[in-house]
Structure 1
């Protein structure tokens, strides 16, 4: 064998081995992304159209060894609403939008806004307050990690109103009416004379159309895409307040195995998802309400005095909620006090202080 042939063989071998080494260093992770809600709803839409492509783009631009291969399984195709965290914990999904309102047993502390309504209609402030409380109380962060999740970005919901088939002129008009109210928001019906019926954005339209209920407690950015005003055109603008609704999360098992540069990029894009989402809701809910009016919706504002009356008739479920969690070894009272305290510090005016009897 000539010296030239031997050199070519050695060179080819070096290229082959180098290629194998590069492949070994590269980390392609198969990612199934799940949400019980469809992609038409803003928190899923932003995950699909911003978070995933932006994450891929930044990883490539940084020449990260990590690369994701995505299977988008939105709309309950892999995990039904309320089972998303279980799908991540069990390894069926690597990215998920977890709706804490529908998984209250796993995330009881994160539902504090639902037991203490009427705080603020500013979704950006609600999201900021919840993240501040979470940063101060380790048990809230641990709720994610013990379920094999890394919190990437939280989402609020624009303020809740009452959508009904017939007009509600005064509080007494609710007497005997069946109203869709999901999870903890069922507490907002207690004391009003109405009856809370379980449901979700996927069921409200059909429930009202078929007479199962006569209305729903929901928010404009959720009501608009499901065309709720077709069956419930009367909007009583109770302004129950913006709410914390859930978070975009990544499997901790996956996250912990990523190189440090990729972990940093994941968290950065998650933070931007959070900020973009809450800004999106803050700017679009008013525009959507105007479109609803143009399409036949009939909104009615509550005066400050009426709103105070509506808040006053509700039982204070926040205090027993907090004490119950305290008895189970969770810092329920601390979360409630910190939550209310954040709003007071910010100078927010609200009709009822849920931390008091």
Structure 2
């Protein structure tokens, strides 16, 4: 009996030693240029990281996370490079601020007036990344592994320090817009200036801008209604603004359990982020109204006039990418076809003109 007990104890000790030997702690730095006040960054802490940790239970792998947000490691537009170079293993990469390196990912920003459904657009873009090798190649060419967590952005608004009753009101006005969205102002007479959420408030306050193109759920935490109280619902549409990516060299060297956990985290973040987003859109508009903002919606005729007055920026963008050996026209067609199949009714058929 004593010999049996000794054998069992020895076996238990050996098993414990084996598990200890297999146990591994992985250090992961996750970076974002925007601060946690913005929903996609908040959900990295609240959804992505806990999901990854949960998925790793029982695998012998644990993660020591270092969260570097709000430009502490990389500013807006600098996260891709930080992850590419290995300064962070994982990052929230804003594709709209990476026009050169992630140009195919910006298809939605070159096709305004298509759909206001941010959830549908984000699901579609993550699906296209799975199905379309050409779309994934943009990330891989920059040593990144796309993990999903598509950041859908709610319907963009025009917020100004002057009332907008017609397109003539925009002539000569300086309007800040993110990345490719500057193109939406072509044909309006406004002067488009490239900008981002981290600077809008001060630039409006100091008169650098007369207005900005922004979405409701970011306008509220940024308190933009204080400096641009005229909110015009033009119907530019919801957009895809990027997602979560990992350094590819690092990712490929990780155990399959960790790779799968990171991907699961990406799916969970997209789903929870958009549940949160959908609930917040109407609340954000009400908050702005309660704080003195004047909210108006343009007529279908106004919207059509704006859309028709633009040059076909989508076709120009696609042709430029085609000339660079990138999948411009094919991505444009795939996206527009998928949106129409999902029930969207574009104000303008960008791919068919």
- Give the TM-score band, short-chain normalised: over 0.9
Report the alpha carbon displacement of residue 52 of structure 1 after superposing the two structures with TM.
Answer: 0.9
Q: Is 1:59 paired with 2:59? A: no
Deviates more, 1:150-159 or 1:175-184: 150-159
Partners of 1:221 and 1:34 in 2: how far apart? 21
- Bigger shift: residues 88-97 or 20-29: 20-29
Aligned to 1:300: 296
Q: Once the 2 structures are TM-superposed, how far is the Cα of residue 270 of structure 1 from its aligned partner?
A: 1.4
CA–CA separation in structure 2 for the residues paired with 1:251 and 1:21: 30
What's the CA shift string for 1:159-191, capped at 9, x where partnerless?
101000111111110000000012100001111
For 1:101 and 1:202, locate their aligned partners in 2 and report how far apart those are by CA, in whole Å. 15
Counterparts of 2:18 and 2:128, CA distance in 1: 46
Indicate yes or no: 2:186 matched with 1:193. Answer: no
Aligned to 2:315: 319
State the Cα distance separating 1:262 from its structure 2 match: 3.2
Structure 1 residue 11: Cα displacement: 11
Question: 2:254: which partner in 1?
Answer: 258
Native 8 Å contact 2:135 2:331 kept in 1: no
Does 1:283 find its partner at 2:279?
Answer: yes
Alignment counterpart, residue 165 of structure 1, candidates 161, 164, 176: 161
In 1, are the aligned partners of 2:147 and 2:262 still within 8 Å (CA)? no
Q: CA deviation at 1:198?
A: 1.8
Q: Which is worse superposed, 169-178 or 310-319? A: 310-319
Instruction: Note the residue ranges of structure 2 that are not aligned, 5 or more in a row.
Output: none
Please give the secondary structure, in 2, of the residue aligned with 1:154.
coil
Segments of 5+ residues of structure 1 without an aligned counterpart are none
Equivalent residue, structure 2, for 1:40? 37
Partner secondary structure for residue 128 of structure 1: helix
- Provide the aligned length of Structure 1 versus Structure 2: 349
Structure 1 stretch 205-214 or stretch 148-157: which is displaced more? 148-157
Q: Distance in 2 between matches of 1:85 and 1:299?
A: 36
SS state at 1:76 partner: coil
Tell me which residue corresponds to 1:105. Answer: 100
**More deviation in 18-27 or 275-284?**
18-27
In the TM superposition, residue 328 of structure 1 has moved relative to its aligned partner by 1.1
What is the distance in 2 between the residues matched to 1:205 and 1:127? 27
Q: Distance in 2 between matches of 1:343 and 1:15?
A: 58
- 1:152/1:250 contact within 8 Å kept: no
Structure 1 residue 342: Cα displacement? 1.2
Question: Partner of 1:272 in structure 2?
Answer: 268
Q: What is the DSSP-based 3-state SS (H/G/I as helix, E as strand, rest coil) of the residue aligned with 2:151?
A: strand
Q: Deviations over 1:256-314 (max 9, x none)?
A: 33333333232222111111112221221111111111111101101111111111111
Paired position in structure 1 for 2:46 = 49
Note the alpha carbon deviations across 1:101-121, whole angstroms, 9 max, x for none: 001111100101111100011
SS at match of 2:209: coil
- Cα offset, 1:337, TM superposition: 1.1
> Is 1:87 paired with 2:79?
no
Secondary structure in 2 matching 1:38: coil
For residues 228-263 of structure 1, give each alpha carbon's deviation from its aligned partner in whole angstroms, at most 9, with x where no partner exists: 000001001001000000101223334333333333
Aligned residue for 1:28? Answer: 25
Secondary structure in structure 2 of the residue aligned to 1:187? helix
Counterparts of 1:183-262 in structure 2, within 5 Å, are 183-262=179-258
Cα offset, 1:85, TM superposition = 1.4
Q: Deviations over 1:20-76 (max 9, x none)?
A: 64333112111111000001100000001221123213322xx11211101111011
TM-score, normalized by length of structure 2? 0.93
Supply the RMSD in Å over aligned alpha carbons: 2.2
